[in-house]
Amino acid sequence: MERLFVIKIGGNIIDDETALSAFFKQFSEVEVKKVLVHGGGKLATELAQQLHIAQQMIEGRRITDAETLKIVTMVYAGLINKKLVAQLQALGCNAIGMTGVDGNLIRSHKRTNAGIDYGFVGDIDYVNTALLTNLFKEVEAVVIAPITHDKNGQLLNTNADTIAQELAKALAGKYAVELIYCFEKPGVLLDANNDNSVIAHINKAGFQDLKDTKAIYDGMIPKLTNAFAAVDSGVSKVIIGRAGQLTQLIEGNAGTTISNG
């Protein structure tokens, strides 16, 4: 099967011009079909502040009321998505920017939760993989802003990590998919304060050991659990590492690779 990368870049990379530029240079040179899912960074929070729209965070998640939904749609789907695509075009990488709304790429439903009302937040039901496959006849990269819809006219703010994971799983039947999470750290660390303590490879048995011995940072456990779920759904491997080291991550010379092997 043909290789395909689903790459997620976090907000910290979008806010950091040097890191973004280093990432894009490598991204545009990789001759493999690429889906890039981006988060929002601090721009949405800044715009909300300027417009005096109070932002409520519960357990690290933004509560998306109607006004906040407008803000994230403007910032993620408008400003950031188009800036990223324009930069890729300038590097000679033919990219198309989209949201889950476009061509019904990602349909979701509004999250209902007995405890917390997250507002206009979507949980994914469906990924239109046929559309992506056909877009790749035209372009080298599809750049996705984390906005989806319910097919009844409602836009929904959707977690970018989850979008990357669901796209990778849905595309796994058609391509040899590698799911790459790029952030500001060099990988999964044995010691959160030591960037030289990257664990190069984790398989399931190793993950169990790490949990049993409490050797890794608690916050990493849900990420790794999701990574193994992706691998169990047919994703070849999941790679976690620094955005500026994309080429090395892909070659297995940096970051943490999660696989069943």
Residues that bind a second copy (CB under 8 A): 50-51, 70, 73-79, 81-83, 85-87, 89-90, 94-99, 101-104, 130-131, 134-135, 137-139, 147, 149, 151-155
In the complex, least distance from residue 87 CB atom to a second copy, rounded to whole angstroms: 5
In this structure, the number of other CB atoms found within 10 A of the CB of residue 194 comes to 9
Closer Cβ to a second copy, 103 or 234, answer by number? 103
Residue count of the chain, please give it. 261
Closer Cβ to a second copy, 67 or 161, answer by number? 67
CB 259 within 8 A of CB 201: yes
In the three-class reduction of DSSP (H, G, I as helix; E, B as strand; rest coil), residue 33 is classed as: strand
Give the separation between CA 45 and CA 54, rounded to whole angstroms: 9
Residues β-bridged to residue 177: 4
Closer Cβ to a second copy, 62 or 185, answer by number? 62
Closer Cβ to a second copy, 32 or 47, answer by number? 47
In the complex, least distance from residue 194 CB atom to a second copy, rounded to whole angstroms: 37
In the complex, least distance from residue 195 CB atom to a second copy, rounded to whole angstroms: 31
In the complex, least distance from residue 49 CB atom to a second copy, rounded to whole angstroms: 11
Closer Cβ to a second copy, 53 or 221, answer by number? 53
In the complex, least distance from residue 238 CB atom to a second copy, rounded to whole angstroms: 28
In the complex, least distance from residue 7 CB atom to a second copy, rounded to whole angstroms: 18
Return the half-sphere exposure (C-beta side, CA atoms, 13 A cut-off) of residue 41: 23
Angle ∠(166,170,176) on CA atoms, nearest 5: 110
Gyration radius of the chain's alpha carbons: 18
- The gap from C-alpha 124 to its chain's centroid, in whole angstroms, comes to 14
In the complex, least distance from residue 100 CB atom to a second copy, rounded to whole angstroms: 10
Q: Which residue, among 241, 230, 130, has the nearest Cα to 185 in the 3D structure?
A: 241
Closer Cβ to a second copy, 127 or 224, answer by number? 127
| Residue whose pair of structure tokens reads 């040899």 in the numeric block | 176
161 Cβ contact partners less than 8 Å away, ≥ 6 residues apart = 8, 181, 223, 226
Residue type, 125: D
Closer Cβ to a second copy, 94 or 260, answer by number? 94
